Structure 1
């Protein structure tokens, strides 16, 4: 288990170090918190790199000191617990007060060096034994010198992780629902697992003194230490990485909306190309389904063009239907909106058909059908060639009031752009996938204004 979990934890720490260092230097190279967090990641990466069995053995073989990697890794843990406390002070206070509060923490870190010196003396006082790459602590816990060494180590680590939890949780509550709050909570959970690690190691120490073999629970050590370290890495990275994750999620949602709006937008641009801002696309050119540049601008343009087209369809909808918003601020995600979308899509198809018939009749009566118009008609006929002939007859009849319940407060109108896009998306998908219109007797109130 050490061969897998420890390299993964080391990779996470070194990756986080590289990310924070590059990003931090670009934003504010003089921020002291940047170098504290990078030092914390570097110590964590060192601890788990050294604890990896192959690296452990290579270091000990090179130095010809059995289990010297144990002293090196545990010293890194103690130093890490000190730097993490300084980091939390910087996180939760302004820079001036952060320095004042962190000074004492930094002095405590320096005091750790004296303790490390004592631990080094105790470590070298342990009777030399065979190399123990995966279970050195459990193997030597019965030695009095090592037992004292381990007691110093556990005491300092326990104080450090308890202080981390004590500092993180109150400020996580004050930070509200933010990435800083999530990061502090993740770091607190990781420190809590560090405390569990201390309990396991204390059980190793006590069990060895009582003649109990501590090897039976040694498998818990890599689990608690590596998972705890990973959570601390995540916690320290989230405040910087979280907003980027949110932006990526928003970008993906808008990309999906842009793509899913295509069927409805395509119907509008084929029937009334004059509402399409890009003339090339209005003449039947190919529009991208996936965009990388100016996504927000293109999404807004697509929504506006759909709205312009739907406004022109108002006179061609069934005359007995009051066309009002079927969406609400939830963007049509409610049960009402989901039920309404297929019926709205069928009404739009019928209106497009009637609009196209009247458009052709008007142009032919004037004798002004240009070559561009004739090309548009050919493409429109090809695109609409699979429409059931019964649609026009089905939608020319007056329908009874729909069974879809309205929400309290009258007509539901779209309140924001995100909700409006979600509603148009549901209609667009129904437009593309619904093979036949809903049966007669389903009248849906819809918003054809295209307002945002």
Structure 2
């Protein structure tokens, strides 16, 4: 277990250190938190690199001091605990007050490190045990005192981390900072379990019973706790990027889901397309927010063009949900838009056919109109029979524009249009069963 979890934790710590330094040096090389957090990551990297059995043996062999790696790794744990406490203090207190609170912690860490070094030097030389040194030597009174100092200091440090993190996580005001503090507190909680196992090891050794009974839990609590602390310390930095990635995915998905509604409108009223030369690529990767906003604007403009052909008495036999009678239902709105597209197209052709036949329109206009009609006919032919019927034009009333007061919020407007687009697709194709909204546009573009 030590040979798997410890190298993994070490690799994560060194990667976090590289990320923090590269990003921090580029943004603000004078930021003190850059170096304090970097120090914490470097200490974690040293702890788990040295604790890896293969590295442990090589260090001891090179220094010709048995179990020197034990002092190095556990000394770094003490230093790491004090560093994390100082980081949290500086995050949650003004600079001057933070230094005042941190000074005694730094002095306490230095004092314990000196005491541990003295006890380690005074202890008798023992054989190499890279995976269970603490449990093996717990019966030695000097080593027991050494382990006692170590356990006491680490326990106090992790308790202080939990005590500092949780209250400030509730009052942090920044979502990712709050999440990072909670993860750090969780990692420190696992560190306390690690201390409990080490304390049991010490007691078992002093009582003469089996001190290695719980040794298998040590790498689990130590490595997993350290990983959570690493993620917690980096979360305030890279967390907002995760939010942007999530927003990008949501916007891209909404852009694709709106395609059936956008297609119905733009083949009927192509004038609303802001950039006719741009293809409606469903695999967009860049400028997703701009394209989504443009699609919403184009749909809204098209609905305003069609509003005089919409009716409150539209019904459809394709989807029973469209007959609920509530004007706000997406299915009802989809049926209204589809009926308006059919009525608008019939009126448009009737209006334009006479001038086209008389030759009053130039050749380019006639060609454009023929191309538009071909696209519309292809779109209409792809729709199965819907059983749609609408009221006569005399019964039709104007509909509120897409950007009405009920939908001022852009995100709410996007959700509404996505619902309408899905209802439009399902009302025209009842067999469609893709609630995720991904397959319905595969054949449309």
Shorter-chain TM-score range? 0.7 to 0.9
Is 1:342–1:437's contact at 8 Å kept on the other side of the alignment? no
Q: 2:258 aligns with which of 250, 255, 261?
A: 261
Spell out the pairing of 1:111-190 with structure 2 (5 A cutoff). 111-112=110-111, 115-176=112-173, 178-190=175-187
CA separation in 1, counterparts of 2:32 and 2:264? 57
Write the distance in 2 (CA, Å) between the matches of 1:167 and 1:390.
Answer: 63
In 2, are the aligned partners of 1:346 and 1:436 still within 8 Å (CA)? no
Q: Would the aligned equivalents of 2:194 and 2:218 in 1 still touch at CA under 8 Å? A: yes
Aligned-pair Cα RMSD in Å: 2.7
Query: Structure 1 176/336 Cα, relative in aligned 2: closer, same or farther at 3 Å?
Result: farther
Q: 1:344-378: per-residue Cα shift (whole Å, max 9, x none)? A: 32332222122112211211022246101101111
Q: Which runs of 5+ in 2 are unaligned?
A: 316-323, 394-403, 432-445
Equivalent residue, structure 2, for 1:314: 307
What residue in structure 1 maps to residue 368 of structure 2?
A: 372
Shift of 1:301: 1.2
Which residue matches 1:221? Answer: 218
**Partner residue, 2:343:** 354
SS state at 1:204 partner = helix
Structure 1 residue 412: Cα displacement: 9.4
1:48 to partner: Cα distance: 0.9
343-352 vs 203-212, which moves further: 343-352
Distance in 2 of aligned mates of 1:336 and 1:292? 39
Q: CA deviation at 1:28?
A: 2.0
Please state if 1:385 is matched with 2:374: no
1:11 alignment partner in structure 2: 11
Q: For the structure 1 residues 390 and 166, does the alpha-carbon distance in structure 2 shift closer, same or farther, using more than 3 Å as the test?
A: closer
1:372-411, Cα deviation, whole Å (9 max, x unpaired)? 110111122112213234534x34589xxxxxxxxxxxx9
Task: Check the 8 A contact 2:313/2:391 in 1, yes or no.
Answer: no
Pairing 1:15-414 to 2, within 5 Å after superposition? 15-109=15-109, 111-112=110-111, 115-176=112-173, 178-281=175-278, 286-318=279-311, 320=313, 340-367=329-356, 368=361, 370-389=366-385, 391-392=387-388, 394-396=389-391, 413-414=406-407
- In structure 2, the residue matched to 1:448 is none
Q: Distance in 1 between matches of 2:135 and 2:326?
A: 63
Asked if the contact 2:36–2:87 (Cα under 8 Å) also holds between the matched residues in 1, the reply is yes
Please state how far the C-alpha of 1:27 moved relative to its aligned partner. 2.4
Question: How far apart in 2 are the matches of 1:336 and 1:117?
Answer: 80
Please report how far the alpha carbon of residue 418 of structure 1 lies from its aligned counterpart in structure 2 after TM superposition: 0.4
State the Cα distance separating 1:429 from its structure 2 match.
2.3
User: What is the TM-score normalised by the length of structure 2?
Assistant: 0.84
Gaps of 5+ in 1: 323-334, 399-410, 439-452
Q: Tell me how far apart the structure 1 counterparts of residues 407 and 368 of structure 2 sit (CA, whole Å).
A: 37
Q: Deviations over 1:87-112 (max 9, x none)?
A: 11210123343344334444444x24
For 2:215 and 2:290, the matched residues in 1 are separated by 58
Question: CA distance change for structure 1 residues 143 and 437 in 2, over 3 Å: closer, same or farther?
Answer: closer
CA contact (8 A) 1:89 1:98 kept: yes
Q: How many residues align?
A: 406
- CA drift at 1:150: 0.6
CA distance in 2, matches of 1:172, 1:390: 55
TM-score by length of 1: 0.83
Contact 1:40 1:83 in 2 (8 A): yes
Q: Say which SS state the counterpart of residue 387 (structure 2) adopts.
A: helix
SS in structure 1 at match of 2:407: coil
Partner Cα distance (2:429, 2:232) in 1:
51
Task: Find the aligned partners of 1:345 and 1:181 in 2 and give their Cα distance.
Answer: 42
In structure 2, how many angstroms separate the alpha carbons of the residues matched to 1:142 and 1:223? 24
Partners of 1:198 and 1:101 lie apart in 2 by 24
- The separation in 2 between residues aligned to 1:336 and 1:194, in whole angstroms, is 60
CA contact (8 A) 2:314 2:390 kept: no
Larger displacement relative to structure 2 (368-377 or 298-307): 368-377
Does the aligned pair in 2 maintain the 1:6–1:49 contact within 8 Å? yes
Q: Which residue of 2 aligns with 1:418?
A: 411
Measure, in 1, the Cα distance between the counterparts of 2:31 and 2:138.
43
Shift of 1:312: 1.6
Shift, 1:205, TM fit: 0.6
Correspondence for 2:398: none
2:176 touches 2:239 (CA, 8 Å); kept in 1? yes
- Per-residue displacement from partner, 1:100-148 (whole Å, max 9, x unpaired)? 4334444444x24xx3233233224433333212111111111112111
Task: Give the CA deviation at 1:437.
Answer: 7.6
